Amino acid sequence: MVGPSFEIVSGWAARGVPLQIAFEGIDRHFERYYARGPRRRPVKIDFCEADVLDVFDQWRRAIGLVQSPVDGRESAVDGRQSTESRQSPIPRQSSLPAHLERVLLKLSNARAKGILNESFDAALDGVARELDAARAGARGLRGEARQALVARLDALDVELGQRAASAIGEQERGALAREADDELAAFRLTMPPEAFARARAAALDRLIRRRLALPSVRLDAATG
């Protein structure tokens, strides 16, 4: 790889884009590319940059990394701050009914696989039933009622993550923890220990959910 393509990929590394995140962005581009029908021309990696950076941005938000506008260093949002921001009024483009539909579909797909054991499958059923009931009354919610539902989604999301972490085996959890460390390697030296610990926990949670094909239940501003 030489020339402009090398410069683009080098730029990803300079930004701290983890290798796995770059792969996810490239895969996303190819999925969209082939969804339009058979293609014969090779795709230059240059064309994947927008998807790579988009996935990188989503990953940063998912694990709570924010960049200081002063020195460019990475830090992690405090858990209490991030909860408050999620409970603040949600932008209009975020649709509760559409979000609940997506989460229920993913939960249904995960449940159909019989992921781990009867206890965990039963937990998924419980979350799905509550979300299905919430969906029936989600359209048109405003004010305190909407904020209460958003807060409940936050709580369900935490519960689902904790159950998933407890359900997978120690060996697999250890492997995913090492992968989380690899993802954050570029940021570790510039982050305070407490901030790194929060980011690492969030990165591990993300990897466990990806492994089990579990959705994020909470409603974020990015959920269109």
Of 47, 63, 79, the last residue of a domain is: 63
Give me the chain's average pLDDT, please: 80
Pair (56, 153) in one structural domain: no
Of 26, 46, 63, the last residue of a domain is: 63
Domain-embedded: residue 219: no
Domain-embedded: residue 70: no
Q: Which of 18, 27, 26, 23 is nearest to 48 (CA)?
A: 26
Q: What is the pLDDT of residue 217?
A: 92
Domain-embedded: residue 81: no
Domain-embedded: residue 130: yes
Name the residue with tokens 């492997």.
175
Domain-embedded: residue 150: yes
* Structural domain that includes position 166: 88-212
% of the chain surpassing 90 pLDDT: 24
Indicate the pLDDT class of residue 110, thresholds 50, 70 and 90. confident
Pair (24, 59) in one structural domain: yes
Q: What is the pLDDT of residue 94?
A: 57
Alpha-carbon distances, residue 223 vs 34, 46, 91, 99, 161 (angstroms) = 24, 27, 10, 7, 19
Pair (34, 105) in one structural domain: no
Domain-embedded: residue 165: yes
Give the three-class secondary structure for 178.
helix
Domain-embedded: residue 157: yes
Alpha carbons 197 and 220: distance in angstroms, whole number: 22
Q: What is the pLDDT of residue 45?
A: 83
Indicate the pLDDT class of residue 153, thresholds 50, 70 and 90. very high
Number of domains forming the structure of the chain: 2
Distance of CA 158 to the CA centre of its chain: 13
Q: Among 64-68, 178-182, 183-187, whose mean pLDDT is lowest?
A: 64-68
> Are 2 and 31 spatial neighbours (Cβ–Cβ below 8 Å)?
no
